[in-house]
Amino acid sequence: MAFCGKCGARRADGAAFCEECGAQGSAATPPQQDPAPPQDYGTPNYGSNPPQPLAPGGQWVPPGNAPPPGYGPNPSQYAPAQPMNPYWPGPLAEWGPRALGWLIDTAFPVGVYIVLGIFTAVVSNLLHVRVIGIVLGPLAWVAAVGVQVYFAYQIGSTGQSPGMRVVGLKCVDANSGALLGGGKGVVRWLAVFLNGLICYVGWLFPLWDVNKQTLGDKVMADVVCVVPRQGFSLIPPAASPPVANPYG
């Protein structure tokens, strides 16, 4: 369709004159209008559900390679969210920190046994009395075991041993989140020997168990959670007194 270059009226293709104004000449193309500038609607507010980035191929990828909450859109790549009891003092502890806390707790009684053993040998040789070695030797072993029992009592009564305080771990009841109690803490120390019954595989249970429990933890129905770290101390620090309300 052509238009008159003078009046802008439509004219038949190939016509020499405009039917409206009679002007003669070549047809003109209609004037082009500039496109309207885009409207600025401001920054969109997505609230708590912002759009997620897409990887090549359209697959959803969490920002910063963080695991998605719960089961992600691709369960083969992302594990389910770790269960969290509202009564627990923190998230479940991994196997590595637990092993480090155990090594710290074990190093002290082993050191006690070694020191007392050396002392016994030196005294026996100096005094040339074998009875001293026969008497003090078992005492060194009893002292080492006594230290371990004391640490186990601390775990039950306060939730932490010296090594657990350093690493930042706390043992609580798996259901209520309460402390086990001193006596149950000692029983828990005895129950850890169950971890070595099947070629020590019980110690490795936290690597795949959903509640990060060893075999002994499952028997005692306890879990180990992550809490703020503290300095090394053989005796549990005193609890802070409650702050008085200044408003009565």
Residues 6+ apart with CB under 8 A from 70: 80, 81
Return left, alpha or beta for 7; rule: phi > 0 is left, psi -120 to 50 is alpha, else beta: alpha
Across 54-78, average pLDDT: 48
pTM greater than the 0.85 cutoff = no
Q: What's the farthest any 2 CA atoms get from each other in the chain?
A: 141
Q: Give the pLDDT confidence score for residue 127 in this predicted structure.
A: 67
What angle do helix axes 130-158 and 95-127 make, rounded to 10 degrees? 160
- Structure-token match 């828990």, residue found: 188
State mean pLDDT over 114-126: 74
> What digits encode the pLDDT tens for the residues 13-47?
667 777 777 666 655 555 556 666 666 666 666 56
d(C-alpha 14, C-alpha 184), whole Å: 105
DSSP class of 92: B
Tokens of 127: 């005094």
Weakest-pLDDT range from 42-56, 178-192, 216-230: 42-56
Query: Residue range 234-247: average pLDDT?
Result: 63
pLDDT at 96 over 70: yes
Residue 18 to residue 176: CA distance in whole angstroms:
94
- The pLDDT of residue 161 is 93
Give the total residue count for the chain.
248
